[in-house]
Structure 1
Amino acid sequence: MTTALLVAALLMGFFGSPHCLGMCGGLVTAFGLSMKDVSPAKRRALVFTYHLGRLTSYASLGLIAGLIGTTLLEPLMQGNSTPRILLGLVLVFVGVTMLGAPFLNKLERFGMRFWQYLSPLRQKVFPLNTFPRALTAGLLWGFLPCGLVYGALLIAVVAHNPLSGAALMFVFGLGTVPMLVATHETVGWLRDKIGRFRLRQLNGAIMVLSGLAVVAVPMMMSSMHSGHGNGQMDHRSHSAMMADEDTAHDMNQMNHDMTPAMDNTMDHSMHDMGDDKNSMPQSQ
C-alpha cells in the first residue's frame, strides 16, 4: 500500500461526496430529526459516533475485500506483473466511473435489495438518542448501496492485503465526512465549488491517467532496458569479432615473419651437410 493510493482514496471520497450527499442526504436528515431533543453537545457526539460506525463498516468491507484479493488473486500474481496491471486497470475503471459512466448502477440495484432487507433492523435504532443506537445506525449506514463505495472496494481488492484494504476504505470514508457533517450553507458552498470546477471529473481523469501510467510506464522502462541490454550484447559481440580478427592478423604476421628465417636456416643447414659430405675421406 503506497501513500499515493491512500491519497487517491481520500480524494475519491471527498470529490465524490456530492454523490454521497445525494444518496445519503435523506438518511442524514432522518438522523438529525431523531436527535432534535438532545443537547447540542450530545448531538455533536452522536454525529461523531454514527460516522465512526460508518467508517468502521467501510474498513470491515475493505478488510474482506483485501482478504478476497489475497486468497483468490495472490496465487495468480506470484513472480509476474499481474498485480500492477490489475491495479492500473481498476484505477482506470474507477476513474471512468467518476467521469460519469454508469458501470456500477446494476451493482447499486443489487445492493438496494440487501439494504431493504435491513429495514426492520434500521427502524429499531430510532430515535438516535443514545451512543449504542448511534453506533449501530452508523454500522448499518455503511451498507447503503453506493457505486462510489463499490469502486473503492475494487481498489481494496487489488491491494491484495487485508490491512491495506481496510486502511484504504477507512481513508475513503474520511474523505466523505466533510460534506456529510457540514451545515446547510457549507454544503451548498462545497457542492457549488466541486461542481463549478468539475473537481470530481478532474479527479476521475487523474485516476484514469494514473492507472494508465501504472500499466504502461514499467512496460516502457522494461522495453528500453531490454533494448539497452541487446545493444550491449551487440557491442560485446562486435568487440569479440574485432579481437578475433586482430588475433588472426597477428598470427599471419608471425607466420610471415618466421617463414624467411626458417627458410634461410634450412638452406644453411643443407649447405653445411653438403660440405660435410665432400670433406669425408674416399674409401680405398
Structure 2
Amino acid sequence: MNYWLIFLTGLTTGGLTCLAVQGGLLAATLATTAEKKDRLHNAVPTLMFLGSKLLAYTILGALLGYFGSVFQLTTPIRIWFQVITAVLMLGLAGNMLDLHPIFRYFVIQPPKWAGRLLRGQTKNPSVFAPALLGIFTIFIPCGVTQAMEVLAISSGHPLSGAIIMFAFVLGTSPLFLALGWLTTKLSESFRTKFFKFASLLVVFIALTSINGALVLSGSKYSFDHWVWAFKTTFLSTASASAPTNDVTINVFNNGYSPHNFSVKVNQPVNLSLVTQGTYSCASVFTIPFLNITKVLPPTGTTNVTFTPTRTGLISFACGMGMYTGTINVVP
C-alpha cells in the first residue's frame, strides 16, 4: 500500500474538504482564545488541535484495522451519518453567523469536569479546548476521511490502519496551520468577513452532504435526478452512447469515467471497476437501488455483475454520495 499517496490525498483533496467541515470548529475556538492577545501562545491552540487530532485518528485507525470487517459501514448507517453531519454543519454555520442563540448548542464545548481538572494544572485552560475539539473531530469526519476509515477497516491490520490514518491526517495539517495563522494574525474586520465566508462554505458542504444522503437512499429528489430530468426533457436530441452490457469504469480520486452509459434490460451487466492509486470515497462503489456495495482496492480491478429487470435510471455513487453516475436501462 502506497502511504505516500495517502499523504498526498490529505494534502490536496482531503485537506480542502476537511477544512470545510472541521475548520469552523478551529476558527471559532481560536476566536475566543485570541482575545487574550498573547503573541507567545498564538500558535499553541492550533498545534494542540492538530496534535490531538493526529493522535486520535492514529488510535482510531489502529482500532479500525484490528476489528476489520466487524465495523462494516452499511448504506443505512452511511445515510444517517451524512444527515447527522449535515445538521451539525448547518448548526455550526448558524452559530458563526450569529443567527440565533440556539445555534450555540451546536458548538462542541469541553466537558465541565475536564475544565475543572485542567484549571488546576495551567493558568491558561482555554488552550486545552482546541485539544479536546481535535479529538472530537473523529465524530464529524469529512467525506474523504470516512473513505480513509473504510480503507483502514479493509486493511485488516492495526499497524496498517494506524499508518493510513496518520499519513492522511498529517497531510491535512498544513491547511489547518494556515487557517490558524490567518485567524490569529489578521485584523478583526477581515476575520469577521472570513468567518462569514467560511460559514457559507460550511452551508454548501452541508447541502452537499444532504444530497449525498439522498443519492445513497435512491431518492428521486437528489440533485443528480434533477439534472437527469432536465437533460431528458430539454436535451433529448443529445447523442447517447450505444447500449453495452460490458462496461469498464475507471475510478479516479475525483469520480468515475464514464459516469453515464446505457445497458440493455433483462441481460447480465458486468461492470469492471479499475482503480489506480485511488484513495478517495470513490473507492467505495455503491448502487443503492440494487443494494450493491463494493470496497475497491487502491489499485486493481473489481467486477460487479447484476441483471436489470426493468427500464429506467439506476444511480451509482461513492460511499458518501459525493461522486455519482447513472446507468440508463433501455429495452
User: TM-score with structure 1 length normalisation?
Assistant: 0.49
Query: Which has the larger strand fraction?
Result: 2
Higher relative contact order (CA 8 A, sep 6+): 1
Q: Find the structure with the greater CA-based Rg.
A: 1
